[in-house]
Amino acid sequence: MAKSRGFEVQVKVNGQPVEVDAGSDGFKLFTEKTIVAMRVGGELRDLAHKLQDGDQIEGVSIGSPDGLNILRHSAAHVLAQAVQNINPEAKLGIGPPVTDGFYYDFDVDQPFTPEDLRALEKQMQKIIQSGQRFVRRVTNDGDARVELASEPYKLELIGLKGSDVGDGAAEVGAGELTIYDNIDPATGNTIWKDLCRGPHLPNTRMIGQAFALTRVAAAYWRGNEKNKQLQRIYGTAWPSKDELRAHQERLEEAAKRDHRRLGAELDLFSFPEEIGSGLAVFHPKGGTMRRVMEDYSRKRHEESGYEFVYSPHITKSHLFEASGHLQWYADGMFPPMRLDEEIDEQGVVRKQGQDYYLKPMNCPFHILIFKSQSRSYRDLPLRLFEFGSVYRYEKSGTLHGLTRVRGMTQDDAHLFVTPETMESELTNVLNFVLGLLRDYGLDDFYLELSTKEAGNPKFVGDDSIWQSATATLEKVALQSGLELVPDPGGAAFYGPKISVQARDAIGRTWQMSTIQLDFNLPQRFDLEYTAPDGTRQRPIMIHRALFGSVERFFGVLTEHYAGHFPAWLAPVQVVGIPVADEFAPYLDEIATQLRAKGVRITVDHSDDRMQKKILNHTKAKVPFMLIAGGQDRDSNAISFRFLDGTQQNGIPVAGAIERILKAIDSKAQV
RNA sequence: GCCGACCUGGCGCAAUUGGUAGCGCAUCGCACUUGUAAUGCGAGGGUUAGGGGUUCGAGUCCCCUGGUCGGCUCCA
């Protein structure tokens, strides 16, 4: 370390005062290899950044969220360099870190193939091992335009700057324009460079071996459908091979839970090609589960003051003109069926036809039920509930198993309330929703408040109405004590909403219930009730889906439980396995007793060996296996085998029945 | 909708440079009657997603349609 010549600067490192020579950089302060960057006065900087007197400094460890982003961002640069090594004609898009990894977009003539990824990984290895230094260089618009003349997308970013860039924020920050040079440590030559805000790892070598390119995809430049599609390469990078392996194992665990796979394995549902994309059929086992889910929901709704209504799947166009759906969301609806039109020989319409639409939402129907009679304030809150089948023409590329379909069943309720009761009703609804979700086994929530985006014509209705509605929702959400995350611009076109986000067993979050306030439809349909003073008043509508859609909720629960459902939901709750045929009648008799109590039980009469039966029913994830042989029959007992492989032998039949009923009743996962 | 990859008996997979479809599981039959994750033997089942083209010959090559997957966009 060079001795100071006459003056030193004082900085604070993690709050502790430290004196260093003038002109020192972060490498002087942090000798541990795990520190890859630093925060200076809160700003992320390269370790090569020169320290100033009075700087408040913290080291950024590679394993921290900031450190991981820097690692992945640097890996993205190396990927881009590798691509241009192999194909110098490739034009660079953007290359930011994302959750668990990074991507880089390229404009290339030939899309990348999976084989290209292997070659690119090798090329990246070479770059990483060559130990190139990432060196930050401040430039200006004019110079950068000259340097990057052959990179049209970078030029566009230079023109945009700061806050306008969206995803390009990793390239050009709000402050000065910078380029990172990749310097060959042996020669000092610049091997490659990229417009970038940084910071970066000091050296490519620090990326190490724990990275992988994972997939290729297309992505619109700057996320806009109207722009050219670039070819995107996704990768992942971690501080160590163990962490990379752990990440890959998490992906494998998620794949094992994939409801599309489990749906086929457990014979729950399928998507026959003959029906059409995004349209599911539920098989007997899935159907049983659905019925149980729905029945329980019905029971709880009934207890909570909801009334049950039914409405048809199709309607004449007028209803959706009145509701505004055809004006705003016709693209998301199936095209109309034109009925009753009569045309003469000359092709002239003799009788005007009628357009019928499949319904994408239930609300207009429930509104008509409200309007079927004069309403008094005594009728309110009126809570109308329906498992309503709706159809939405989702773009083919967005369909995904049961979680994104074209035909689904909403557990939909519309509540008509007075302004005075709106707040208490919203509170009730939120508590009801959370309580019911807990019964189905989800208990880790946060809330999202979706509000309108100023100036977007998609949102209909008065600003002042939006403001008061939003304020009320926020108040109710905060009272719940749950974490509340803002979602600006995420509102429905007719009003703001609270959505309940649930974390599943492996920490993924799913949007579940939504509670939406609507001041718009009551107005469009001219809804009224008579107030205590005899005046006519407009009710407020609350839209509320609890599962969201039954199909989607079914998929989420399947993934949450990995197919190992709690006994009350399991399609087959108990299976009897005789040690030999002669014990089957003994089990049949126990099965009769259990069936009388409403338990879903089968006795396996197949001529498989007992061991094979255990295998089969374990794979089918039946919560209780009841095994019976001579010892059990002699003592009027049975033996339990559970899915984790444990067993309890010689349990008296009466106790066993009680054990099973208790598990079902308590909604426990056995 | 856009880009790319893919589609072989119910399911999971094989089939050298285009040469005439195999395996495992499942299903069915027979035998076995067994104490906690696969008993043995045998049988049936595919116009290789559908259609068209190239070729003496197509699961293999080309085109169209449908569907699936990964992304982008969208998500009332």
> Quick one: pLDDT at residue A170?
59
Residue A302 domain flag? yes
Protein CA at A651 to nucleotide C1' at B41, angstroms: 38
> Quick one: pLDDT at residue A320?
93
What pLDDT digit, counting tens, does each position of A261-302 carry?
Answer: 999 999 999 998 889 899 999 999 999 999 999 999 999 999
Same domain, A166 and A219: yes
Same domain, A306 and A430: yes
> Is A593 an active-site residue?
no
Protein CA at A271 to nucleotide C1' at B22, angstroms: 29
Q: Name the residues in A420-479 having a C-beta closer than 7 Å to nucleic acid strand B.
A: 458
State which amino acid sits at residue A324: G
Query: CA-to-CA distance for A1 and A21, rounded, in angstroms?
Result: 9
Protein CA at A649 to nucleotide C1' at B24, angstroms: 35
- What is the number of domains present in chain A? 4
Residues of chain A with pLDDT under 50: 1-4, 163-165
A139, containing H or E segment: strand A133-139
Residue A495 tokens, joined:
């009003």
Same domain, A464 and A491: yes
Q: Is A190 helix (H, G, I), strand (E, B) or coil?
A: strand
Q: Which of A359, A392, A452, A617 is the catalytic position?
A: A392
Which residue has tokens 């946060």?
Answer: A446
Boundary-marking domain end, from A538, A561, A584: A561
Q: Which of A45, A73, A497, A600 is the catalytic position?
A: A497
* Nearest residue by alpha-carbon distance to C1' of B31: A607
Same domain, A482 and A419: yes
Residue A321 domain flag? no
In this structure, the number of other CB atoms found within 10 A of the CB of residue A94 comes to: 28
Q: Cβ of A646 < 7 Å from strand B?
A: no
Residue A259 domain flag? no
Pick from A64, A8, A2, A54: nearest CA to A27: A2
Boundary-marking domain end, from A512, A528, A561: A561
Residue A372 domain flag? no
> Quick one: pLDDT at residue A488?
85
Do A47 and A25 meet the contact criterion of CB atoms below 8 Å apart?
yes
Query: CA-to-CA distance for A462 and A385, rounded, in angstroms?
Result: 28
Boundary-marking domain end, from A26, A43, A61: A61
> Quick one: pLDDT at residue A168?
52
- CATH number of the CATH domain containing A606: 3.40.50.800
* Nearest residue by alpha-carbon distance to C1' of B69: A400
Protein CA at A174 to nucleotide C1' at B50, angstroms: 55
Protein CA at A401 to nucleotide C1' at B9, angstroms: 25
Same domain, A507 and A451: yes
Same domain, A81 and A208: yes
Q: Which of A45, A231, A359, A363 is the catalytic position?
A: A363
State which amino acid sits at residue A199: P
Residue A598 tokens, joined:
């409403």
* CA R_g for chain A: 32
Residue A127 tokens, joined:
């770059």
Residue A348 domain flag? no
Helix, strand, coil shares, percent, chain A, to 5: 35, 30, 35
Q: Is A221 helix (H, G, I), strand (E, B) or coil?
A: helix
Same domain, A78 and A172: yes
Same domain, A453 and A506: yes
Q: Cβ of A523 < 7 Å from strand B?
A: no
> Quick one: pLDDT at residue A4?
45
> Quick one: pLDDT at residue A169?
56
Query: CA-to-CA distance for A334 and A391, rounded, in angstroms?
Result: 7
Q: Name the residues in A494-513 having a C-beta closer than 7 Å to nucleic acid strand B.
A: none
Residue A392 domain flag? yes
Structural domain of A53: 8-61
* Residue A189: half-sphere exposure toward Cβ, Cα within 13 Å: 4
Query: CA-to-CA distance for A86 and A123, rounded, in angstroms?
Result: 8
> Is A497 an active-site residue?
yes
> Quick one: pLDDT at residue A507?
87
ipTM exceeds 0.90, yes or no: yes
> Is A196 an active-site residue?
no
- CATH number of the CATH domain containing A456: 3.30.930.10
With 0-12 / 13-18 / 19 or more C-beta atoms within 10 angstroms meaning exposed / middle / buried, residue A440 is buried
> Is A392 an active-site residue?
yes
Q: Cβ of A279 < 7 Å from strand B?
A: no
Same domain, A48 and A71: no
Give the 3-state DSSP-derived string for A380-447, with helices as H, strands as E and coil as C. Answer: CCEEEEEEEEEECCCCHHHCECCCECCEEEEEEEEEEECHHHHHHHHHHHHHHHHHHHHHCCCCCEEE
- Give the total residue count for chain A: 670
Same domain, A527 and A417: yes
> Quick one: pLDDT at residue A50?
86
Q: Which of A406, A414, A600, A613 is the catalytic position?
A: A414
Protein CA at A438 to nucleotide C1' at B39, angstroms: 46
Protein CA at A112 to nucleotide C1' at B56, angstroms: 38
Supply the DSSP symbol for A476.
Answer: H
Query: CA-to-CA distance for A636 and A216, rounded, in angstroms?
Result: 62
Q: Cβ of A401 < 7 Å from strand B?
A: yes
What is the residue-wise DSSP string for A53-81? TT-EEEEEETTSHHHHHHHHHHHHHHHHH
> Is A400 an active-site residue?
no
Distance between first and last Cα of chain A: 64
Strand B nucleotides within 7 Å of a protein CB:
1-5, 11-12, 26-27, 30-39, 66-76
Protein CA at A563 to nucleotide C1' at B51, angstroms: 39
Same domain, A555 and A410: yes
> Quick one: pLDDT at residue A611?
95
Residue A222 tokens, joined:
């700057």
Residue A324 domain flag? no
Q: Name the residues in A622-641 having a C-beta closer than 7 Å to nucleic acid strand B.
A: 625, 627-633, 639, 641
Same domain, A286 and A243: no
* Nearest residue by alpha-carbon distance to C1' of B70: A217
